[in-house]
Amino acid sequence: MSNALAGKVALVTGGSRGIGAAVVRRLASDGASVAFTYAASQKQAETLADAINGTGGNALPIKADSANAEAVRNAVTQTADRFDRLDILVNNAGILVRGVLDDYGLADFDRMVAVNIRAVFVATQAALRYMGQGSRIITMGSVTADRSGFQGASVYSMTKGAVAAMTRGLARDLGPRGITVNTIQPGPTETDINADETQRAMLRPLMAIGRMGKDAEVASLVAYLAGPESSFVTGAALTIDGGYLA
């Protein structure tokens, strides 16, 4: 544990499981009060919050589907109302719907855009009402922004490429206000979303270090960007992929 984020307030979207949950745990361990959203995993969200609150931390689970813009705005408002401020926004919520172009449904396309791109814009716009000098905006992208790597990922890759481009623009817009904006681009990471061992066995040889990433490793990069030592880093897309793109 450290006190690098003592007195800070963070909101993590999609924070009930996987990388998001690891981010919530890490920010809380570094001293931040952390609100986080979930769409359907209520039991996991409550268990996570209870674990943090039970050890002296401060966590608030908020039910909010990131495809619903008003729910995203309300989550920001609830966070600020509960903790009286908002210093760190981690846009982590994201979905992956694979499919080849011939059969890809427009409803799936629209939901991918809504969750992976629009929600980032909506949450960031809402958070700015409460943010000031030294605030941090961090968005979870993907190495697929630079390399799709597998068939059926064109729409997902598009959304992550859009996030990286938005980050660069927001860094210019918000830099004069003392707010940094960055994207993290994880490579293949061990989470419950890709728990299939056959798939993991296929991915490991593609990594320069011979293994997939851990969610806590990605969370450590989020913690760095959220902390005081990253004050000169903005507009960046930071890859953490074990050499997948090397």
Specify whether the CB–CB gap between 182 and 236 falls below 8 A: yes
Which of the residues in the chain have pLDDT under 50? none
Domains and CATH numbers, the chain: 9-240 (3.40.50.720)
Give dist(CA 132, CA 136) in Å, integer.
Answer: 9
pLDDT at 193: 67
DSSP one-letter string for 118-172: IHHHHHHHHHTTT--TT-EEEEE--GGGT---STT-HHHHHHHHHHHHHHHHHHH
pLDDT at 90: 98
pLDDT at 64: 98
pTM of the predicted model as reported, rounded to 2 decimal places? 0.95
pLDDT at 114: 98
pLDDT at 195: 67
Residues designated as active site: 156
